[in-house]
Structure formats: structure tokens, C-alpha cells
A = this chain, B = another copy of it.
Amino acid sequence: MMSDKATSQTSANAPIRVAINGYGNLGRGVELAAQKTPDIEVVTVFTRRDPASLTTLGAPVHHVDNLHCFEGKLDVVINCGGSATDLIDQTPQTTTMFNTVDTFDTHARIPEHFARVDAQARAHDRLTLISTGWDPGLFSLMRCYFGSVLPDGDTYTFWGRGVSQGHGDALRRVPGVANAVQYTVPVEENRQRILGGEHIELTTRAGHRRVCYIVPEDGADLARIQEEIVTMPMYFDQYDTEVNFITAEELARDHSGMPHGGSVIRLGNTSRDTKDVMSFNLDLGSNPEFTGSVALASARAVARLYAAGQRGAITVLDVPPSSFSPKTPADLRATLL
């Protein structure tokens, strides 16, 4: 167990040394976040690309093939690859040499990923925290607290308003579409009904709608594009989908950000006639910057818990909240309780 003493020793030491493995939007978000955390130093960025081709915010860049040269020089490696193809191998591999953090978010495969990474971490005396971020991550934390406090109730999750990369990709595969952005948008009326205390059956259509901004190719048949989109199985056919045609200039000007967010709501009863509503809401200017901030706080927790003797794989559900904070437990008690 982590004592006050162990924590303050960690804080009193040199900064926590982290590496960012992969420098896409998320990797850059982690580096940005580190500019606001004096207790954490980004020692290096690892990349599969030519290191000379990367422009970071200041962190040195090394090729990922040289990762092993940093053994013993890093407290935590934050794996910033994609879930689909990168992290499933990257995290078990890097965990043979380093404590690690990842944002693996393929919900259905988390138990399998956890088991693989846990085995590697235990075999190599490391600590790894997987699947951090906001969903999975902060939203998972809330679902855990909410269900523990109000066992008699329902949990609802809404995502957005935010850009869904997967749906944007699907739109761009439609013939005649030059470029596209798709926003996932909660059905606000139903969200408000739940917040107001009404248990409702949240079908796919009742929960979210989809708003598309399409730049058509010259001379494309707009009616046909619209029809192909709204009837596209799985992606759009089960939703109310709005299709807007705009110019490339409008897309660049109005839709190049990566906002996202969402809510977790618990509607429960503490006694027969007594309802209680707990809710958590995120309204994020930048999805990758915020996810990077959560990953960086998670790296702090890993460094702390590793110093206190913890090994194997963990998730945010296993981390004492105080471990995410740069402040000492005594300071937190005096200021936050």
C-alpha cells in the first residue's frame, strides 16, 4: 500500500521521466500536456518515421528501433499508437523493458489485451496501465463509482458532440465524396429526460444522431450520395442522419478541429420514492489533447505505484485517485476534502 512517505519521496525526487512512443495527434497531446506538469519530463519521442522528419514541441526524437537504448533511463513509456493494429502488440513488447501506459480502446478486446500485458509485466517486473483516456478511462471510473453508490439504477452514456474518425472514413469511401467530417451528436431531448429523472429505453436512434459535412467531387450526384450515406448499414442506417454539402474551404475553416465529449448518467433510487441522479460531463476542445492529458496523469500514477511496489497490469479502476495528482496526500486532504 502506498504511504504518505512513499509519495512524498517520489515528489521530492527528480522529475518523472517519460517517453512518448508514436507522434500522431495523441503523442503531440501528451507532449503538450507535459508543458503544464513540472514534475514530469518528456525525455524522448520514439517514431517509426525518419526522426529528422518530425517537428516536436521540443522533445528529442529517436527511432523506435533504438527503444532498448533507453532501458533504465525512463520511468514510463506512453504508447500512443492506434488500438486496431499498434497497441495490441506494442504494449506487451514495450512492457518487457519499461513501465507502460496505453489508451487501448477496443472495448471488446480489453480483457484479452489486459491478460497479455499483465503476463509480460509480471514476467519482467514491470507495471503497466492500459486503456486510459476518457472512454475507456474517466467514463469507466464514473460507471464504477456510480454503480457502487447507487446499485439500484441504470447507467446511460452519451458521446459527442464530437468527430468520429471511423464514420468520417466511411463517408470518404462513398463514390463522389472528396472529403468529409462526421459528428456524433447526443439526442439532447432524451439526455435531458434522463437527467430529469425519467428512465427511458435508449435505443440506438434515441441516443444519438449523426451529422455529416460532405465536400462532393465536381459534378457528383448529391441525391445519390445522400441516399448512400443515410442507408449505409451499421454506420448510419440506425440513426437519424443529417447530410450537409459544403465546400473544401468551409470544411477546412469550420471542421478541422477535433472536439469531443459526452456524458455518463446514473439514474437510481435510494428508496422506493427517492430518485438520485449522478452525472459526469466532458466538453472537450480537443479530443487528442485531453486524452494526452489523461495519459500523462496516468503515467504519474504508474511511476508512483511502481515505486510503491505494484507490478502487473492495472487500469484506472485500480488506481487510488491521489496517485494521479502531483500533490501529496496531506496537501490533497487539506485542500480538496
Contacts and interface: CB of A to CB of B under 8 A. Distances in A.
Interface of A: 1-2, 29, 32-33, 36-37, 107, 110-111, 114, 131, 136, 138, 140-141, 143-145, 147-152, 195, 197, 270-271, 273-286, 289-290, 292-294, 297, 300, 305, 308-310, 315-322, 324-327, 329-330, 332-334, 336-337
11 contacts: A37-B151, A111-B333, A136-B337, A144-B325, A148-B297, A150-B293, A151-B326, A270-B285, A315-B333, A318-B329, A319-B321
A145 B142 CA distance: 11
The oligomer's copy count stands at 2
Contact of A289 (B37, B271, B317): B271
Nearest to A288: B270
B293 A274 contact: no
A336 B317 CA distance: 9
Given A107-B337, A315-B337, A320-B318, A270 B1 contact: no
Contacts of A278: 138, 280-282
Give the most central of A2, A138, A318: most B CB within 10 Å.
Answer: A318
A286 B270 contact: yes
A148 B294 CA distance: 8
Contacts of A317: 320-322, 329, 332-333, 336-337
A297 B332 CA distance: 21
Contacts of A138: 145, 149, 278
Contact of A280 (B271, B279, B284, B315): B279
A276 B284 contact: yes
Ranked 9 nearest A-B pairs via Cβ = A270-B289, A148-B324, A274-B285, A136-B337, A277-B283, A317-B322, A143-B336, A148-B325, A148-B297
Contacts of A282: 276-279
Contacts of A151: 36-37, 326
Contacts of A33: 270
A270 B292 contact: yes
Contacts of A297: 148-149
A280 B327 CA distance: 21
A146 to B, nearest CB: 10
A290 B336 CA distance: 20
A111 B334 contact: yes
Contact of A293 (B149, B286, B309): B149
Contacts of A148: 297, 300, 321, 324-326
A297 to B, nearest CB: 5
A336 B140 contact: yes
A316 B107 CA distance: 27
A271 B150 CA distance: 36
Contact of A1 (B131, B290, B309): B309
A150 to B, nearest CB: 6
Given A148-B297, A271-B32, A293-B150, A276 B280 contact: no
B279 A144 contact: no
A283 B82 CA distance: 38
Contact of A145 (B315, B321, B327, B329): B321
B334 A110 contact: yes
